């Protein structure tokens, strides 16, 4: 019987933990930005290097744009164990963020790679094992991931903005597996984020992919309205994963 790799189990856990950390950053807080930053670039389909390998990342939906040179604003969303490749936001919400306006995000997406596994060659069997670990992490380790995500995010915010209010995350509702295929797997969560007496409910698609033998984490978020939001998340997450794989076929 094959022994589970500690590194693969770590990648599974950091994938879940990162999704929780990213939704905390949607609370309505403002951080001073560099006013001299250059405008976002608008390449049709930019590539990003993961472990030295160029990966093309299409937008998950037609209304989300990649931040380009303003991508640094999304670094707050990313835990120390990951590195941000791409970040997508709605145009009006990006404009508000650049202006320092306190506004909660309603729809956004992040693509990350795990720092400790970025240069690891991930085979098909490795990916299957990583997915199995992610499924386990949704069980016994779920509560501790929530607490760790809260603590790290609030520490970061106190460093960047000492007067920022504490952000809390209610225990998410698990939506289970959204889709599963050879090189892509997705699960979903419904999460409530509270800050300054305001609470926003989100749905999150956590998508694990094996792209050119690299582990890629793709997260898609939007505010929850009703059951139709979950149906949208399921389709949009799978469509995005399919498009990423198709675009990077060798």
- 51 vs 58: CA distance, rounded Å: 19
In the structure encoding, which two tokens stand for residue 49, read together? 């290097």
Say if pTM beats, i.e. exceeds, 0.85. Answer: no
Share of the chain above pLDDT 70, in %: 67
The neighbouring-strand residues paired with 217 are 112, 208
- 41 vs 23: CA distance, rounded Å: 25
**CA angle, corner 157, sides to 155 and 158, nearest 5?**
65
- Report residue 76's pLDDT band, with 50, 70 and 90 as the boundaries: confident
Q: Flag whether pLDDT at 111 surpasses 90.
A: yes
- Pick 7 or 247 by higher pLDDT: 247
Q: Flag whether pLDDT at 171 surpasses 80.
A: no
Nearest CA to 26 among 193, 163, 166? 193
Burial track 209-238 (b if 16+ CB lie within 10 A, e otherwise)? bbbbbbbbbbbbbbebeeeebbebbbebbb
| Mean pLDDT to the nearest integer, 164-193 | 82
Strand extents, DSSP E, the chain? 47-50, 53-56, 64-66, 82-90, 107-114, 168-169, 173-181, 184-195, 198-211, 214-223
- Pick 21 or 135 by higher pLDDT: 135
Q: What residue segments make up the domains of the chain, in order of their start?
A: 6-32+46-247
- Pick 185 or 96 by higher pLDDT: 185
How much is the mean pLDDT over the chain?
78
247 to 23, 46, 219, 225, 243: CA distances (angstroms): 27, 11, 18, 31, 6
| Mean pLDDT to the nearest integer, 91-116 | 85
List of residues 6+ apart from 225 with CB closer than 8 A? none
- The most confident of the ranges 101-105, 133-137, 155-159, 194-198 is 133-137
The answer to whether 55 touches 248, Cβ cutoff 8 Å, is yes
């Amino acid at each position: 019987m094959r022994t589970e790799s500690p590194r693969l189990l770590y990648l599974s856990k950091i994938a879940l933990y990162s999704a929780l950390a990213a939704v905390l950053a949607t609370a309505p807080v403002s951080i001073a930005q560099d006013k001299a930053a250059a405008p976002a670039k608008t390449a049709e389909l930019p590539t990003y290097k993961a472990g030295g390998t160029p990966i093309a990342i299409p937008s998950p939906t037609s209304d989300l744009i990649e931040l380009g040179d303003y991508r640094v604003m999304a670094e707050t969303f990313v835990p120390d164990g990951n590195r941000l490749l791409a970040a997508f936001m709605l145009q009006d919400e990006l404009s508000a963020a650049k202006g320092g306006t306190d506004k909660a995000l309603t729809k956004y997406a992040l693509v990350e790679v795990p720092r400790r596994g970025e240069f690891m060659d991930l085979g098909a069997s490795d990916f299957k094992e990583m997915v199995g670990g992610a499924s386990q992490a949704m069980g016994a380790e779920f509560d501790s991931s929530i607490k760790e995500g809260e603590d790290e995010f609030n520490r970061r915010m106190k460093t960047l903005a000492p007067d920022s209010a504490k952000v809390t995350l209610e225990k998410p509702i698990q939506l289970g597996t959204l889709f599963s295929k050879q090189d892509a797997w997705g699960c979903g969560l419904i999460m409530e984020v509270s800050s300054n007496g305001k609470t926003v409910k989100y749905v999150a698609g956590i998508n694990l992919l094996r792209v050119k033998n690299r582990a890629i984490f793709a997260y898609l978020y939007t505010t929850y309205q009703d059951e139709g939001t979950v149906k949208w998340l399921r389709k949009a997450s799978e469509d995005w994963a399919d498009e990423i794989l198709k675009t990077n076929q060798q």
